[in-house]
Each structure stands twice: as C-alpha cells, then as structure tokens.
Copies of this chain bind each other. A is one copy, B any other.
Amino acid sequence: MISAITPDRILQTGLAFWSSKTLLTAVEMELFTELAKHPGDLANVQGRMGLHPRAARDFLDALVALGFLQRQEGIYSNSPETDLFLDKAKPSYIGGILAMANHRLFRYWGDLTTAVRTGEPQNESKGGHDPFTALYADPAKLREFLRAMSGVSRGANMAIAKKVPWSGYRTCADIGTAQGDLVTQITLANPHLAGIGFDLPEVGPVFEEYITANGLTERVSFIGGSFFTDELPSADVLLFGHILHDWDLDTKLMLLRKAHAALPPGGAVVVYDSLIDDDRKENAFGLLMSLNMLIETPGGFDYTGADCVGWMQQAGFKDCRVEHLVGPDSMVVGIK
C-alpha cells in the first residue's frame, strides 16, 4: 500500500509555476505571434526575440516539451493550438488573460498566504478600495483587462450563442459587457437578434471598436451606466458572464433582483461562471477561481449551480436550470 504512494504529484503541482511562468513569458514576448509570421532555427529565433544565448535553447526546448512549440530538423514553429489561440494577429487570440496573469496575477498570488489569513485582496486595491476603480482609472490596464476577459470567456460565449433557445427572443443585453465578446458571439450566430452591451462609460470606446471590427454596429449598441446606481437596460434576455463571482452575496442578490425587474414576463436571465460542483470536491478550477476573487476583490467568491439556483429563486425566477458550457464554465438560466 505505502509503496504505491509516490511524491510525484506533490512535486509536480508544487513546481507547476515553472511551466506556467515559462508559457506566460512566451506570451509576454509575443513569441507565438512572431513564429506565426514564419518559423526559424535557434539562432534566428534567438535574434528575433532578443533571447540571451545562455537561455534561448532551454527556453524554446522547454516550450517544445510542454507541447506549445514544435521543433523539426532544428526549425521551431507553433503547435496547432498556440498558432490558433496565441497569435495576436488572429481573431481567435485568447492570450489577453495570460498577459494579465503574467503582468498582475502571478505576483499578487505570491501573497496568497496573507490573503488566506486576512481575507483581504492582494492586488492594486490593497487597502480596501474598489478593485475596479484602480483598473478603470488607467486606460492601458483597462484595455488589457477587457481583452483578458474576452480571452477567458470566448469558449463559453460561443456555447451560449448556441445553447440558449434564441429563436424565442428578439433582444438581449449583456451586463458588465467589457469588450463585448458575449453579445458579439450571440448576435453573430443569431442574425435575428439585437443586442446591448452595458458597462461603465469608460468601457464604451473599447466596446465600440470591437463591435465595429465584427461588423455589428447596426444591431449592437452600448449603454454606459453602473449596475449599482442605475437600472438595468430592458431586453428579452439579460446575461451576466463572469460577473456575479466578482461580488459579495448581497450584491449578487441585488443584481438578480434588478434583472428580474428589468425583464418582461417570460424573459430569461443567464448567469455563467466557472461553477463549482455542488459537492465542492471536483472542480478545482472553480475553487481556485474563487481564491482568485479573494486576491482580486473585497467580497467576491465563486459558487455552485445549486447556490445560484437558490439565489435566482429568492429573486423571483422560476424554471431555473444549470447547463454545462465548455471547459470549467456552466450557465444557470432562470425565467421571469
């Protein structure tokens, strides 16, 4: 019995930040964007990326062994997945979340022990400020954050565009829309729908740019406002994508009540996040995302499908159901 137990998993997980940071550094350097233009041998890639000779070969070969690069007859090129998802020149780019993880989260997570002992955020907002105030005050950081949200949400957004019975609705509004990827994917896949993106006014220009790039200006518009002080826009379907987990329980309930008030009878609320399994024993990513909310926000936390159904029922919704989307993300749908 004892002889079958090895320390391998402990050491692998404990040192997993090595592979993590190696990939994040490659994203930071835009290595995959560069190799998508054309592959190259060691000397070529070293020169183009400004790598030190001592480090270049180990760095690139580590990415080969991790499956993010390929090397054939000495020529380095992207793997199919990094070529599709980590080349900035492609619309399928999802590296924003990793750029933010590299730039902000890796260091903030270094203070996890303090977070777990104090219950307080360990990011720019250290000291108790609204985490989004600091972010929204800096246009460069705001743009990075909004792009990051698109990257981490793309798969779920595309699933929602198919899995909600859109034929029964004419309008939708995405609350806390960021760059607007959710309303973009929904309206691209459902040409009969009109959509609204709702977020703080500072987000407007980034949203408009994204909608224009996707050719959706005739059907999708932006409404600037705060879901704390303003009513929510009216639409057949209101969506909260990776929003509820940012906030404490009172705010979660307030948002669901405002959604109920803004919807017509028969309208739907759609909430999605990296839902934790109801027994809180399986979905490690959802639980770690909740620790990320501890690092990032004063009161946010992730939750199970059963938690969310209970809150929707308290807010007056009926026929609530949970449906898996993709990867760690699931949605909860409630009807007014």
Are A22 and B155 neighbours in the complex by a CB distance under 8 Å? Answer: no
Whether A21 pairs with B112 at a CB distance below 8 angstroms is: yes
Asked whether A169 is an interface residue with its Cβ less than 8 Å from the other chain, the reply is no
> How far apart sit A101 and B20, CA to CA, in the bound complex (Å)?
14
Interface residues of A in 4-27 (CB under 8 A from B): 5-11, 13-25, 27
Number of copies: 2
The answer to the question of A282 belonging to the interface, with a C-beta cut-off of 8 Å to chain B, is yes
- Within A225-254, the residues touching B (CB, 8 Å) are none
Would you call A62 an interface residue if the criterion is a C-beta within 8 Å of the partner chain's C-beta atoms?
A: yes
CB neighbours of A40 from chain B (8 A): none
- Min CB distance A76 to B, Å, is 11
Query: Which residues, 246 to 300 on A, are CB-close (under 8 Å) to B?
Result: 276, 280-285, 287-288, 290-292, 294, 299
Task: Tell me whether A139 is interfacial, beta carbon within 8 Å.
Answer: no
Taking the complex as formed, is A116 at the interface, i.e. its CB lies under 8 A from any CB of chain B? yes
Are B291 and A55 closer than 8 Å at their CB atoms?
A: yes
Residue of B nearest to A109 (CB): B21
Question: Does A66 count as interface, using CB distance less than 8 angstroms?
Answer: yes
Cβ 8 A contact of A65, one of B20, B21, B115, B281: B281
Contact B5 A84 (CB under 8 A): yes
Q: CA–CA, A9 to B94, complex, Å?
A: 12
CA distance A81 to B10 in the complex (A): 8
The answer, yes or no, to whether A132 is at the interface (CB within 8 Å) is: no
A61 at the interface (CB under 8 A from B): yes
With contact pairs A29-B113, A65-B287, A110-B106 given, residues A85 and B10 touching in the complex (Cβ less than 8 Å): yes
Judge whether A119 is part of the interface by a CB distance below 8 angstroms.
Answer: yes
**A288 contacts B10, C-beta separation under 8 Å:** no
Contact A291 B81, CB 8 Å, known A54-B119, A119-B53, A280-B64: no
Q: Do B64 and A94 have beta carbons less than 8 Å apart?
A: no
A165 to chain B: which residues have CB within 8 Å? Answer: none
CA distance A287 to B66 in the complex (A): 10
Contacting pair A82 B281 (CB below 8 A): no
User: A118 to chain B: which residues have CB within 8 Å?
Assistant: 52
Question: Could you tell me if B113 and A55 are in contact, using CB atoms closer than 8 angstroms?
Answer: no
Query: Which residue in B15, B58, B66 is a CB contact (below 8 Å) of A101?
Result: B15
When the two chains form their complex, are residues B62 and A101 in contact, meaning their CB atoms are under 8 A apart?
no
**CB-defined contacts of A65 to chain B, threshold 8 Å:** 280-284, 287
Provide the residues of chain B in CB contact with A155, threshold 8 Å: 6-7
| B110 adjacent to A107 (CB under 8 Å) | yes
**Interface residue? A310 (CB, 8 A):** no
- A111: min CB distance to chain B, Å: 9
Instruction: Looking at the assembled complex, report how far the CB atom of A14 sits from the nearest CB atom of chain B, in whole angstroms.
Output: 4
Docked pose: A117 CA to B25 CA in angstroms = 10
Residue of B nearest to A8 (CB): B327
Q: Which residues of chain B come closer than 8 Å to A5, judged between CB atoms? A: 80-81, 84-85
Top 4 A-B residue pairs of the complex, sorted by shortest distance between their CB atoms = A52-B119, A65-B284, A54-B119, A62-B287
Which A residues form the contact surface with B (CB < 8 A)?
1-2, 5-11, 13-25, 27-29, 50-59, 61-62, 64-68, 71, 80-82, 84-86, 94, 97-98, 101, 105-107, 109-110, 112-113, 115-120, 152, 154-155, 276, 280-285, 287-288, 290-292, 294, 299, 301-302, 326-327
